[in-house]
């Protein structure tokens, strides 16, 4: 199994909240299920910036958010695959149907002994991870997750393979750990 960190691909559309303050809604999602009280965030697609025209993205970048956005096409491909480990929450966008992937929190998955990271001196919280390691038994069978120590969404090779097989555009993947 390989664990990856998704990242927006250069030259593809971005999804942004219409109201900049709504970025906090995404930051507040910490792996808890929220579907019962979820209010769709109003979104817009950024098609160009400073004269650069962006290509259509099936998985548009949410910028600084550590979460994934899906178009209808991407949701049709990934919805069932992600359903066990994530909530697929609707977003409100006039241009295209969009959904937010809210991964579950996987406690005990981060292996501090084999990872390399730097902590904030003041709080002891992890500031930056330069090498991730996970407990293999904790991530076995999981396709998409977050950890309490860091905000990124992580996906496994099952998700990456499905995205590549369907030729979904707009997201790339950085491998961060492989089970030996």
Residues 157-178 pLDDT 10s? 999 999 999 999 999 999 999 9
Residue 64: its pLDDT value, please?
65
174 found inside a domain: no
Question: CB of 141 within 8 A of CB of 104?
Answer: no
Is the residue at 36 inside a domain? yes
Q: What does the block give as tokens for 143?
A: 């396709």
pLDDT > 90 fraction of the chain, expressed in percent and rounded: 88
Phi-psi sector, 89: left (phi>0), alpha (psi -120 to 50), beta: beta
Note whether residue 106 is domain-resident: yes
The stretches in the chain having pLDDT less than 70 are: 64-65
Residue 23 lies in a domain: yes
Token pair of 96, please? 């295209």
- Is 105 a member of any domain? yes
Residue 176 counted as domain residue: no
Whether residue 179 lies inside any domain: the answer is no
In whole angstroms, give the CA distance from residue 129 to residue 149: 9
| Location of structure tokens 């178009």 | 71
pLDDT at 180: 78
**Domain containing residue 46:** 2-168
SS3 state of residue 52? strand
User: How many domains is the chain partitioned into structurally?
Assistant: 1
Query: For residue 20, what is the DSSP state?
Result: G
Any residues with CB less than 8 A from the CB of 7 and at least 6 apart, and which?
61, 171, 172, 173, 174
CA dihedral 177, 3, 60, 97 (to 10 degrees): -160
Question: What residues have CB less than 8 Å from 41, skipping those under 6 apart?
Answer: 17, 22, 25, 26, 91, 92, 100
Q: Is residue 155 part of a domain?
A: yes
């Amino acid at each position: 199994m390989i664990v990856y960190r998704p990242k927006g691909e250069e030259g593809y559309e971005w999804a942004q909240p219409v109201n900049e303050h709504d970025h906090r809604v995404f930051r507040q999602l910490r792996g808890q299920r929220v579907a019962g009280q979820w209010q769709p965030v109003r979104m817009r697609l950024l098609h160009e910036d400073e004269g650069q025209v962006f290509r259509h993205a099936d998985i548009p970048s949410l910028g600084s958010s550590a979460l994934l956005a899906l178009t209808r096409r991407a949701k049709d491909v990934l919805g069932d695959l992600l359903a066990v480990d994530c909530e697929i929450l609707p977003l409100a966008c006039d241009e295209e149907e969009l959904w937010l992937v809210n991964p579950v929190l996987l406690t005990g998955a981060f292996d501090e002994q084999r990872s390399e990271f730097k902590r904030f001196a003041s709080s002891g919280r992890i500031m930056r991870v330069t090498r991730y390691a996970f407990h293999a038994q904790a991530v076995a069978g999981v396709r998409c997750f977050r950890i309490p120590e860091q905000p990124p969404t992580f996906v496994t090779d099952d998700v990456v393979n499905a995205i590549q097989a369907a030729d979904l555009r707009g997201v790339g993947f950085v491998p961060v750990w492989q089970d030996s």
